[in-house]
Chain A
Amino acid sequence: MARVSSNRGIGRKGWLYTLGAGVVSLAYFFPVFYIISTAFKTRVDALAMPIRFIFTPTLDNFYSVFVRASTEGGAGTETGFGLYFFNSVFIGGSSVFIALIIGTAAAYGFSRFPLRGNDTYLFIILTTRMLPPIIAIIPIFVLFRVFSLSGSYTGIIALYTAFNLPFSIWMVKSFFDDLDRDIEDAARMDGSSEWSVFWKICLPQIMAGLAATFVFAVILTWNEFLFALMLTGTQTRTVPVALARTIGGQVGVDWGLMSAIETLFIIPVVIVTFLLQGQLLRGVTFGTIRK
């Protein structure tokens, strides 16, 4: 139970832990590993049982994510996945960007100029995020039809902006709350305007936090399925929806292809997980738990 005290150094006991943790982590990671390795397998290797760990890697699956070979021969046809990847990035990126601007302003307000009933506002804001998305989708679906927004970028970006706003506000507020107020007060005493206190003192200090918030929100949006399923059209479809539709399409599911799509989708996420390990706890709890 007690941790190895660091002054004793990490000897053989440390490496024993590495071995144990290694076995556990690899077992835990196996499903993800399976997806990534299947992406590099030929159709025969992908379906072979028992699982083949040694195989000749191929990039065919990644190629056919974007271009599907025609069965009659001749030139392959576009699968549209280039567009879906673009949509995922574009819709996710722009909605998070807008949400972060509005959210940072609000977070600064909530943190530095508390209103009467500040906590109530924050609670309502968090609730809009915690509510089952299925409730929100019913009226939004109908309203989108009324304003003919379904299948448009404007509609889904507006929706995702609102979807990301509570997260951005809570996260960014947690970073503002952590700052040392003395520096700001000292600047105010020296005659700095509120405007420059915000731009020159507060904001530069939370830049890393803003970056982390941006990345988390992009991943959440990137992974969102239900709203995208209901509200995107053929031109604005995102990758999770396209992935789920691919499975329903043909007779035999091409798992190599599916894995290649997913691999392209998760590699950025795995890299981000590694880079943001220190902020992960805050990220997954909407900034409510910091340490």
Chain B
Amino acid sequence: MSRDHCSVASNGFLMTVTASTARPTAEARSRSGPIAWLMSPDRRGPLLIAPAIATLLIVNIFPLMWSFGLSFFEYKANRITPPVFKGLANYADLFTDPEIWARFQNTAIIVVGSVALQLVVGFFLALLFAQEFPLRRYLLMLVLSPMMLSLSAVGVFFKLFYDPTLGFISRIISMFTQDTFVILSTPTRAIIAIVVADAWMWSPFVMLLVLAGLVSVPKYLYEAAEIDRAGPWRRFRTITFPYIKSLLLLALLFRTIETFKIFDIVYLLTEGGPGSSTETASVYVYRLAFQFFRTSQASALGYVMLFAVIVLTSLYLYGIQSRKEVEI
């Protein structure tokens, strides 16, 4: 079992076993038993991660595999009829169904609009908060708090803010348009309403990332630029931007992943309306699964979404990795 007696004895887990018995015979026995096998230094890593992997397997991976299997069957969760094998039919339906493409289009519009707005607002907020001024820490807290709210609270209260008679946002808008603002009156308005609520909530996230980049710029670079009489735009392009470029990209990816899944805000704010013009992929899966009980089609659509998320997540981790390498 052990190639080198000394190194094993000085290693922790065996030490605790042997120290308590403190008899050479017991030591020899415990070293060959199953406990000693488990406690061997080679198995430390697997042993430490085993509980986590087991939990994820039971609660996460197993149900996922189950529904992955289900996506090849015809099955309704509210019927007792057993699932019927359909092969790839559910997936084939997905790619020919115009309804699904419309849902993905809605999702794409919301993702592009919201993430773009978050990047712009977050970027300017970061430029502002990169300065040093009195009370900065307190004001920063005010800006960061929306991000820590619950998505459901943002959904519920923006419904109030957009209310045609009671909502302050609607009131402000109607002051300019001389017309009552009803979010569900046109698809464009409904989408803008969702985008604004989501971007309001998550711009601080982008700000935090960009701020981290801005703080990491060495000050001497600015001092050198001052000597060279470089203008503000040049200073930004050649000094500041390289430091925040990778973080902006990571913010873009991270927010794209998260916004792609958008459910709570849409569900509470518009319920996908008017018609189905703001129904995102997540909301549609929800309807398929729990209102129409087309469980297997919902699973199939879910897996298409999962694939997209996996691609985006690996891009994100790749970005993280290359950023680390640049730093080192």
Contact = CB atoms under 8 A, between A and B. Distances in A.
A218 to B, nearest CB: 11
A165 B313 contact: no
Contact of B305 (A123, A135, A223, A272): A135
Contact of B132 (A4, A109, A284, A291): A4
Interface string A1-39: 111111000100011111011101110110110110000
B159 to A, nearest CB: 7
Between B155, B160, B168, the greatest number of chain A beta carbons within 10 A of the residue's beta carbon is seen for: B160
Nearest to B314: A123
B59 A159 contact: yes
Given A51-B168, A194-B44, A223 B313 contact: no
A: contact size bracket: 35 or more
Task: Tell me the dominant secondary structure on chain A's binding face.
Answer: helix
A135 B143 contact: no
B66 A243 contact: no
A113 B317 contact: no
Contacts of A59: none
Interface in A94-139: 102-103, 105-106, 108-110, 112-115, 121, 123, 125-128, 130-139
A169 B50 CA distance: 13
Given A109-B48, A162-B59, A31 B200 contact: yes
Given A130-B309, A161-B59, A289-B209, A115 B49 contact: yes
A134 B146 contact: no
Contacts of A14: 132-134
Between A105, A109, A191, A281, the greatest number of chain B beta carbons within 10 A of the residue's beta carbon is seen for: A109
Contacts of B252: none
Closest 6 CB pairs of A and B: A109-B48, A194-B12, A193-B12, A113-B45, A223-B150, A162-B59
Interface of A: 1-6, 10, 14-18, 20-22, 24-26, 28-29, 31-32, 34-35, 47, 49-51, 102-103, 105-106, 108-110, 112-115, 121, 123, 125-128, 130-143, 158-159, 161-162, 165-166, 169, 191-197, 219, 222-226, 230, 240-241, 243-244, 247, 253, 255, 258, 262, 265-266, 269-270, 272-274, 277, 280-281, 284-285, 288-289, 291
25 contacts: A1-B236, A10-B132, A21-B129, A22-B139, A25-B139, A28-B125, A31-B161, A49-B165, A115-B45, A121-B49, A134-B289, A134-B302, A135-B302, A136-B64, A139-B67, A139-B70, A141-B289, A143-B66, A240-B153, A265-B153, A285-B250, A285-B254, A288-B317, A289-B209, A291-B212
